[in-house]
Amino acid sequence: MTGLPTVANLINGEWLRSDHERTVHHKFTGEPIALAYDATPEMVADAVTVARDASRTPLDPPARYEVLRAVADAIAKNREQLALDVARESGFSVKDCLGDTDRAVQTMLTSAEEAKRIDGAVVPIQAAPGFEHRLAFTIRQPVGVVGAITPFNSPLNTVAHKVGPALAAGNAAVVKPSPFTPIAAAALCRMLLEAGLPAGLIGLVLGPGDPVGRALVDDERVDFVTFTGSTAAGKAISARLGMRRATMECGNVSATIVCRDADVASAARQCSRGAFRKSGQVCTSVQRLYVHADVMDQFLDELSAAAAKLVLGDPEDPATDIGPMISEAAAKRAEEWVNAAVDQGARVVTGGKRSGPMMPPTILVDVAPEARLLCEEVFAPVVSVVPFEDVDAVIEAVNDTPYGLQAGIFTRDLDTALVAARRLRMGGVVINSTSSTRADLMPYGGVKDSGYGTEGPRYAVRDMTEERLILIEPAGGRK
């Protein structure tokens, strides 16, 4: 195809094409919007080689700060165009994409600040018998090369969450974005170069997880892998890393509890957004809703009313709330799961039938406990509402999955909130908001099959550095 913008691989400051051309489609119209070029295994190896060499002479913290701050400014300056590009390649409404673009500004700003805050600690070594005359402290050093593998559902901000801290920590980074959404990742890399980042410290390799992601993971010169994606892919990557370190941000079957004393109307509005924004294609999207039986009818009415107000359509239209799913195959799978739940006795309150890649907000009740909608991540705008009467029992129900990323609970009772905070086995528990609530500077990560390691620039920087102990004995020995 001629006349389309191109997205190429970035190696040592050069944008390189391959013989494998991939068309990036507008997720609503299906029209081609760009041509991307998958990296060859040799290109992946070259990108790592360049990054390895560059990582041996890291930027000093003030220079890291200046580069990352300049990129934050560039994102803000190009806010509308970046949001439009992300809307086209992802299918998310331009409303959501503007919000994600603003978040990426904060992610890069926070990363810039963290570049100046990397510290160690004094070790009270004098307390050890025989060490009274010695001094000990720790410093943190860059790991070297960070391989970043990112998903389609936040094509700009998730890349920022990996690249920003990696560079802030003094590392080099090689990014492999989702083949569905390479445009935003390439734009961020371009802004880094324009901000003055040495060319070798950022690389971009395009293509699917196999073979491109696999080649990046299998290269033992990659010291740290930061991954966001499915649990299955996260487990496969972890199995290949050996002793190398990683952050795995994987799936969830996210739950939110609405107690009898909750502000039902507010909870319903928040749950509608938490379940249906980005067509439910967020790992913390509200998928399981446990509502106290005494307020079940009121909550369902409020949730249905909120869902009915959401506008489905072209993501470029400012009036649109929900665009298409990432592909028609993804929407078809979601519809099949809904139909299977209905066959098991569930009732559809609203939605349930797709049109091409468009899946409307879907609410179900009477879902069987063994249905996939309650046991596996649907990654679609589908939520199951389950009544409960006992808080202890519902906490056990929320915990009763292999996952543990985030959960929410709505209650005015402090004791109930504290019990939930202690007993919900999650990486994060959100009080009076949904499982989908996140601020970019907070620690964010899961337990169990939801992964390990922590995102949020401060916490990612710590993960992407190595702690080194320095022990000093006076040259003259004990005096």
What are the strands of the beta sheet with 465-472, ordered from one edge?
122-123, 135-142, 465-472
Active site residues: 249, 283
Q: Which runs of E-coded beta strand occur in 218-260?
A: 224-228, 245-249, 255-258
Question: How many CB atoms sit inside 10 A of residue 56's CB?
Answer: 10
Helices and strands in the chain: count of H runs, count of E runs: 15, 21
Q: How many CA atoms lie within 13 A of 13 on its CB side?
A: 9
As a residue count, the chain comes to: 479
Sign of CA dihedral 98, 151, 426, 352: positive
Cα–Cα distance between 203 and 183 in angstroms, integer? 14
Distance of alpha carbon 312 from alpha carbon 333, whole angstroms: 19
Kindly state the DSSP code that residue 369 receives in the 8-state scheme. Answer: T
CA-CA distance, 70 to 429, in Å (whole number)? 34
Using CA atoms, how far residue 143 sits from 40, 190, 243, 388, 394, in Å, is 26, 24, 13, 48, 42
d(CA 181, CA 154): 9
Q: Which of 47, 57, 413 is nearest to 259 (CA)?
A: 413
CA distance 317 to 324: 13
